[in-house]
Amino acid sequence: MSRFKAVIFDLDGVITDTAHYHYLAWKRLAESEGVPFDEAFNEHLKGVDRMGSLDLILARGSRSYTQDEKLALADTKNRHYQQLIATMTPDDLLPGALRALEEVRAAGLKTGLASVSKNAFTVLDRLGIRDRFDYVVDAARIANSKPHPEIFLTAAQNLGVAPGDCLGVEDAVAGVASIKDAGMYAVGVGSPEVLTRADRVIPSLQKFSLQDY
């Protein structure tokens, strides 16, 4: 039996890899604005919401933008991203993701999703796993992006579980910080050298096992 009552997952980089689609969409937008953009810089956008990512990109350029201009650019990026994710299928689930979700539910724990992506519902539908979650946070209703703990606290509240009884799973530094500041146990997916605040780090959900926590 797990000592936890709920597991709250991030989406991008944990359950599926939409990072490449985000990269292509941001790169197209940045280059249209004359801003250099590569995979190294893209790492800084992991776990950051859309407007926050846009601000980081535009800060590398030489001109300033009005809020209306920024909103238009964000919409342009999102339309391109939506075109890309429309091609997703259940085959785009990362190795171990479906088994991890099944293990959590079989153990009688609640499952939540805490993604800053405003397209999370679409992605879950394309992957065929929306019904695997007891609660999915609507990122459009979250005021503070990761590393602020709001999104994980919102998930816990709507699952009816105290933060201390929740385990969060994240692949980004900002996401792990969000979990820890929410008062939860953090499982990082990636490198221990990067995800230093995580309580435990695994290379992928293939290594996820509730009996380890």
**Inter-residue contact 111 to 104 (CB < 8 Å):** yes
Q: Which long-range contacts does 30-37 make (Cβ < 8 Å, 24+ apart)? A: 30/57, 30/60, 33/57, 33/58, 33/61, 33/73, 34/61, 35/60, 35/61, 36/60
- 145 vs 106, residue with greater confidence: 106
Q: How confident is the model at residue 1 (pLDDT cuts 50, 70, 90)?
A: low
pLDDT digits (tens, 9 = 90+) for 41-97: 998 887 788 899 999 999 999 899 999 999 999 999 999 999 999 999 999 999 999
Say if residue 207 carries a ligand binding annotation: no
Domain limits for position 32: 19-85
Q: How confident is the model at residue 190 (pLDDT cuts 50, 70, 90)?
A: very high
Active-site option among 12, 134, 165, 181: 12
* Domains in the chain, number: 2
CATH code of 58's domain: 1.10.150.240
Q: Is 12 a catalytic residue?
A: yes
Identify which of 83, 64, 69 has the alpha carbon closest to the alpha carbon of residue 22: 83
Looking at the DSSP bridge assignments, the partners of residue 169 are 9, 187
Whether residues 37 and 56 fall in one domain:
yes
Say if residue 171 carries a ligand binding annotation: yes
Residue 49 lies in a domain: yes
Q: Widest CA span of the chain, in angstroms?
A: 56
Interval 176-180 mean pLDDT: 97
Q: How confident is the model at residue 192 (pLDDT cuts 50, 70, 90)?
A: very high
Whether residues 78 and 35 fall in one domain:
yes
> What does pTM read for this prediction?
0.85
Residue 102 lies in a domain: yes
Percent of residues, the chain, with pLDDT higher than 90: 86
Whether residues 190 and 102 fall in one domain:
yes
Residue 187 lies in a domain: yes
Whether residues 45 and 107 fall in one domain:
no
Q: Is the dihedral of CA 115, 121, 127, 131 positive or negative?
A: positive
Interval 171-198 mean pLDDT: 96
pLDDT, residue 46, reads 77
Whether residues 124 and 167 fall in one domain:
yes
Say if residue 118 carries a ligand binding annotation: yes
Residue 1 lies in a domain: no
Say if residue 29 carries a ligand binding annotation: no
Say if residue 116 carries a ligand binding annotation: yes
Whether residues 61 and 164 fall in one domain:
no
CATH code of 100's domain: 3.40.50.1000
Q: How confident is the model at residue 117 (pLDDT cuts 50, 70, 90)?
A: confident
Say if residue 53 carries a ligand binding annotation: yes
Q: How confident is the model at residue 128 (pLDDT cuts 50, 70, 90)?
A: very high
CB 62: neighbour CB atoms within 10 A?
A: 7
Whether residues 132 and 202 fall in one domain:
yes
Interval 10-20 mean pLDDT: 91
Say if residue 42 carries a ligand binding annotation: no
Interval 144-156 mean pLDDT: 95
Helix extents (H) in 33-96 = 39-42, 50-58, 67-85
Active-site option among 10, 134, 165, 181: 10
Q: Is 92 a catalytic residue?
A: no
Whether residues 56 and 145 fall in one domain:
no
- 59, 85, 111 — which closes off a domain? 85
Interval 181-198 mean pLDDT: 97
